[in-house]
Every structure is written in C-alpha cells, then in structure tokens.
Amino acid sequence: MNRTSLRTFLLISFGLAWALFSLPLAFKNDSSPNLYLAAMQVCFMAAMWAPGIAAIVAIRLVEKQPVIQTLRLNTLGPKRFYLAAWFLPALITIAGIGASILLGTGTRDPNFTFMRETLANAPAGTNVPAVEIVVLAQVASALTFAPFINMLFALGEELGWRGFLLPRLMPLGQWRAMLLSGAIWGLWHAPSTLLHGYNFPQHPYVGMLIMTIGCMLLGVILSWLTVQTRSPWAAALGHGAFNAVAGLGFLLLTPGFDTALAGSPLGLAGWIPMIVVIALLLWGKQLPIPERNVSRAEGFHHEA
C-alpha cells in the first residue's frame, strides 16, 4: 500500500471538492436565488471530477505509472454487467419508493402534485403539455439516455473511488476495502449536506451520517461492478444511472416527505433494497468477489 500516493489522492480529492462545495456560499445571500442555485449546480458538477483529477495526479506524479493502463480505461470487461449498471439503480430507487409507501414515511401521489405545481409556475403564455406527459417523459429520460449523460460526470468520481482507491485498499481485505472506500466517498459529500442541505435539507448534521451509510451500501454494489469488469466504466454507468433516477421520488410521492426517511435512494427507505441486492449477491456467491476475478484485475491484489 503506497501511503504517499493515498495521502496525495485524499488531499486533492477532499481539498479541491470541498473548496468547490463552499464556493456557492458567496452567492447564497445574493438578491437572486437563481444565481445561488446555478453556482451550486456548476460547482457540484465540477467537484465530481476532483477524485478523478486526484487519481491522475497520484498515479502520474507519485506512482509514476501510465494513467490509462493503471485505471484500466482501455478495458470494458463482460458486457452483461453493464445491463446491471444501467437498470439496477432504477430497480433500487423504485423499490425504495415502494418501501417508503409501505413504511408510511411517504404517500403515493397519483396527481403528480410536485410536477403540477412546477408547471403552474411556468411563464405566462408558455405552452405547457399535460402533466402526465411531462412525468412520463421525465421517467423515460431517467431510464434511457440520462444515465449516459450523467456518466460523463460520474466517471470523474469513479476514477477516484473505485478506479484508484478501491484496489489500493484491497490489501485490507475485500469487505474492508469496499466499505472503507464507500465511507470515504460518503464523508467527501459532507460539505454539500452541511452547508447547502443537499439531499437531506431537514437534517444537515444527521444527513452526513445517512449519506455516508448510503454511500457505503451503494459503494459495495459499484465495487462489485468494478472488479467483475476490471474497469471503471461499469461503475461510472451505474453511478450515472443512480443520479438519473434519484429524483423519481419527487415525481411519484406527495410533496413534503422527509428525504432521510422516504423517496431518496440514499435515505433509510433506499437502504432496504440495497441491502437486499447485496444479500442476493452473497446468496449467489458473487460476494465476496471470486478470487480469480480479483487476481485477474490489475491492481486488485487481494490479501485475506
């Protein structure tokens, strides 16, 4: 384990991203709230590439290795895992919405109130389609092309968390590596929740813990995709697909729900289907990842 490389990676990942997460605060008290929201969106998207930049710097300047080969950007791996990466996040999100309804933390909204209110605020004279058509278009895009658009930004994170960090933590053992890399990923988001209420606006402090646990669970699934394909591309697609469908709860549940308990796939309701998926992978002997798959992946040298 190259500790200097790890320290360099973590310093750049957290330092650059946390600076970008803090930057929108300069516009928070501005007279135009739209400027603050725009700054937050731009800075958050840029921050997603902080881990990727950190990985490239650590590999090239500290480890002095070729970036493309080390991060295995020239490898795709078995194509069947890309179907899982594409559609599994949608199943997790929909199951999480169902769990919200069953647990009573969220209520099904057949009237699509959130979207109806959004369309009602459209500028006068705007030709607004029926709310059902808009919702259908939103869901269709989240399931089809949006994951591939989001993948461009998600790749920045996945080059860092699963492409660089995961294999370098493998000497600790598979489970420790997957859970620790997920925990670091979750803590990396802390300023977005604490400063801006991102994901869990009702719980800025507890939200950091909820986010971390959610990232640990999702991190196991993305780690499974990474090692099975021996490539960061499947995890990037899975991450992009997850971001694409994460907001479906706002379309399908009555507004006002607590995202820590309902709607959000990273909240408590979302933990349930992710735990089920991990349990199924355990039952199918996909986890822990078969040793032959780990040893075949360059950089994934597992020591029990």
3-state secondary structure 84-130: HHHHHHHHHHHHHHHHHHHHCCCCECCCCHHHHHHHHCCCCCCCCCC
Instruction: Taking each helix axis as running N to C, give the angle between helix 174-188 and helix 3-22, from 0 to 180 degrees, rounded to the nearest 10.
Output: 30
The pLDDT, as a whole number, for residue 121 is: 81
Tens-place pLDDT, residues 99-150: 999 999 999 999 999 999 988 887 776 788 899 999 999 999 999 999 999 9
The pLDDT, as a whole number, for residue 30 is: 67
Distance CA 208, CA 269 (A): 16
Q: Could you give the residue ranges of the DSSP H alpha helices within 104-232? A: 113-120, 131-143, 146-158, 166-169, 174-188, 190-196, 206-229
Q: Is the peptide bond before 66 cis (omega within 30 degrees of 0)?
A: no
The pLDDT, as a whole number, for residue 302 is: 38
In the chain, what are the domain boundaries? 77-296
The pLDDT, as a whole number, for residue 120 is: 85
Distance CA 178, CA 72 (A): 18
The pLDDT, as a whole number, for residue 97 is: 97
pTM, to two decimals: 0.93
The pLDDT, as a whole number, for residue 301 is: 45
Distance CA 81, CA 167 (A): 19
Counting as low any pLDDT under 50, the low residues of the chain are 298, 301-304
Distance CA 43, CA 196 (A): 12
